[in-house]
Amino acid sequence: MGRMKLLSNVINNATNQVEGFCIVKSVQLKLNVKGAEYLDFIIADAEGEISAKLWDYSSAVHGTYSSGEIIKVRGTVNIYRDQEQLKIDRIRKMTDSDDVDLSTIVAEPPIDGEFLYKTLFDFAATFEDGDIASLTRYLLAANKERMIKYPAALRLHHAHKGGLVFHTHTMLELAKKTVEVYSAIYPELSSDLVYSGVILHDIAKTAELEVGPLGLATAYTPEGQLLGHITMGVSMIESAAAELGIPNEKAMLLAHILLSHHGVAEFGSPKFPMFPEAEIVSTVDTLDAKLYEMFDALSSVQIGGFSDRQWALDNRLLYRHGHGIVAKEDGSAVDE
């Protein structure tokens, strides 16, 4: 995610102290080197997230906190290992009298999730292979509410409300262009396998993530920790195929696409992509995730400037060149 809006709410320039509302994405009780308790947070708002520490913690003084709660914090921004970190000075839970605009706390997808889901579901009906179409629509229907609401990750790319369906939709649009190019050269390319693989590649995120009422992931489920969405997705396909009487080979091909969509074992895939359709799904997944990370990181960078190092992108600095920005009539940039 980008830089939190909270960090712009400076109330003391001399001490770099900020104040505002945010959501608790995660919180852990830990001990420092002297054995004293402190709370280790990841807090977020609609524009980004940050690591935060509440030192010298006392439950009697500060209260208790859990993932998914909206809080108000006052704290001091420091730099730790080249990353911003918040030292919390004051903290409390949001109350009804605060009248907080939740759109400033929880990011929404740029396109309505219900619309995106319907687009995926209707498109699957156009597949030439009826078995693949039936299996894809079966799993979409079984996971509809979570597909629309859930993020695509606990952190990193598309980790916002509705991020799962948005990521899937963007991937599908990219896959269509890819298939258009390569099917003209290689007619045996199966568009149905590509499109079904894209739609189903992260379907088990609906079982992997713990998601609160605001649509943000706060933790992994036990199954998510022990099995992961790749393994659970394969199981979903196998169960659906058995229920619908789908031939084993078709189910196996889709299962392989899920098994290989992270590309390499280092990123969780037990298999490399072993046929072209699996390679396409893996490649467009990687591209969509990386472009999301890049544009998100650059959104808070001035033209001509560099981002902080992005550990999810091989610890790269990113440069915002500004050449794609359309100028207004008065000569200013559209997004400035």
Between residues 328 and 93, the one the model is more confident about: 93
pLDDT(213) > 80: no
Residue 323 lies in a domain: no
Q: What is the pLDDT of residue 336?
A: 44
Q: What is the pLDDT of residue 333?
A: 53
Residue 258 lies in a domain: yes
Q: What are phi and psi of 249, to 5 degrees?
A: -65, -40
We report the CATH number of the domain holding residue 263 as 1.10.3210
Domain range for residue 214?
113-293
How far, in Å, CA of 110 to CA of 161, rounded? 11
Q: What is the pLDDT of residue 1?
A: 57
Q: What is the pLDDT of residue 37?
A: 93
State which of 77, 104, 131 marks the end of a domain.
Answer: 104
Do 50 and 140 lie in one domain? The reply is no
State which of 74, 104, 134 marks the end of a domain.
Answer: 104
Do 44 and 172 lie in one domain? The reply is no
By the 8 A CB rule, do 161 and 214 touch? yes
Q: What is the pLDDT of residue 124?
A: 97
Helix axis angle, 276-298 relative to 191-200, nearest 10°? 50
By the 8 A CB rule, do 203 and 236 touch? yes
State which of 34, 69, 104 marks the end of a domain.
Answer: 104
Do 59 and 28 lie in one domain? The reply is yes
Residue 308 lies in a domain: no
pLDDT(256) > 80: yes
Do 213 and 128 lie in one domain? The reply is yes
Cβ neighbors of 45 (< 8 A, separation 6 or more) are 4, 5, 6, 20, 21, 22, 23, 104, 105
Mean pLDDT taken over the chain: 88
% of the chain residues with pLDDT over 70: 94
Do 258 and 234 lie in one domain? The reply is yes
Q: Which of 43-47, 139-143, 153-157, 185-189 has the lowest mean pLDDT?
A: 153-157
Which secondary structure element, helix H or strand E, spans residue 208, and what is its range? helix 205-208
Is 0.85 surpassed by the pTM of this model?
Answer: no
Cβ neighbors of 293 (< 8 A, separation 6 or more) are 156, 157, 310, 312, 313
pLDDT(328) > 60: no
Do 137 and 255 lie in one domain? The reply is yes
Average pLDDT over residues 213-227: 86
Do 164 and 284 lie in one domain? The reply is yes
The total number of structural domains that make up the chain: 2
